[in-house]
Amino acid sequence: MNDKGQLHTLEGLGAAVLMTLTILTISQSTMIVTPQNELAIDVHLEQMSSDALTVMDRNPVDSAQYNLTECIACWDMNEADYPTDTAGNLDELDAGLRYLLPNALYNVDLAYIENDDLKVDKAIINGPAGKNAVVTRHFVTLTNSTVSEMGGGWNLGDNELKVVEVRLTTWKI
Amino acid sequence: MEDLRKDTSGQWIALSGLVISLIIIGLAVLANQAALAGYHSSNAALEFPKENIRELNQHTRDNAQTIKDMAFYMNSTTNETVPVAFEQLFDNYSTQMQKLYAVHGEVVDVSLVSINSTTGNYTMEDIDMVFVNITYDDGRTHYSAEPEIIEVME
């Protein structure tokens, strides 16, 4: 029997065991995100867009950047027109979202109840939603005082409050 | 061929080849399982409506404060008492929320239980808490907070 190269063989064996143990440890301890799994990207994107809306909503009223309620309150009620006028007068909201959602495109729809009917307006259009787009939503409440302060086009009575659903559709580019 | 059959050298190499092939099979199984685990955990994360529930709860909390301010404004401009104005505004809010959630196939109910006043008077300073029932159901997940105690002191 040829006894040559036994150490090399043992070394190979040791390396293989080491690699297997490492992969086992990693795979058993955390959630594995495989690149092939598109759902994992959706989860990530959904969390990012949800966080973006929450961050904008939580902005204090007196801070330099308008918060989500203030942004929506200033809307002039003219729907966006793609590709000529993608954001209407919602520049603040558009700038905030663009900063918080890098490498992603988004559309914003506003849904609210008017005369007992649901009305959905397209506020920001950045194009047709791509593959694996996710939708997140956030609610804001508008009152006459917020709207008149921001100079928006919502026609509200003094004793009226309007709940508006901000619907954010996000997709990766 | 006969020479090859009688040549018994390199058995260690042959054995290590077998071992390495077994390891590769093991790794293939592991990778397969990881993909499956990733799919199931992502699916579970997408299906569970945690953001919707959190949003319902948080928005109701924020609104209780807005409604309190509006109720006092209504009280000063109309002849409604503060509790009645509060209830009317809250009902209005609740109806809008029910409709907006219903569009997505979710049933929510936000109803005012009581307005808590430390002294029994309904002034801006005395109303400190409101009790609200919040329920959410999307057919798979049910959530209820009965009551949710909301502090409305500025």
For the segment A127-139, what is each residue's pLDDT rounded down to a tens digit?
898 788 999 999 9
Q: Do A50 and B51 touch (CB under 8 A)?
A: yes
Give the whole-angstrom CA distance, residue B96 versus residue A139.
11
Mean pLDDT within B45-58: 90
Mean pLDDT within A67-89: 86
Mean pLDDT within A54-67: 80
Of A13, A39, A40, which has the smallest distance from its Cβ to B19's Cβ?
A13
Q: What is the pLDDT of residue A32?
A: 53
User: With bands split at pLDDT 50, 70 and 90, how would you rate the model's confidence at A35?
Assistant: low
Task: Look at residue B148 and tell me whether its pLDDT is greater than 90.
Answer: no
Note the pLDDT tens digit of each residue in A89-125.
Answer: 888 889 889 999 988 999 999 999 988 899 999 999 9
Listed by start position, the domains of chain A span: 36-172
Task: Look at residue B41 and tell me whether its pLDDT is greater than 90.
Answer: no
Residues of B in contact with A46 (CB under 8 A): 46, 51
Q: What is the pLDDT of residue B58?
A: 92
Mutation target to probe the B interface, by most B beta carbons within 10 A, among A38, A43, A117 is A43
Chain mean pLDDT for chain A: 86
Q: Do B19 and A31 touch (CB under 8 A)?
A: no
Check if the beta carbon of residue A90 is closer than 8 Å to that of residue A75. yes
**Helix A6-29 crosses helix B11-47 at what angle (to 10 degrees)?**
10
Residue of A105, A95, A96, A109 lying closest to A172 (CA atoms) = A105
Q: Do A32 and B38 touch (CB under 8 A)?
A: yes
Mean pLDDT within A20-30: 75
Q: Give the DSSP letter string of B55-75.
A: HHHHHHHHHHHHHHHHHHHHH
User: With bands split at pLDDT 50, 70 and 90, how would you rate the model's confidence at A36?
Assistant: low
Q: What is the pLDDT of residue B127?
A: 84
Task: Look at residue A30 and tell me whether its pLDDT is greater than 80.
Answer: no
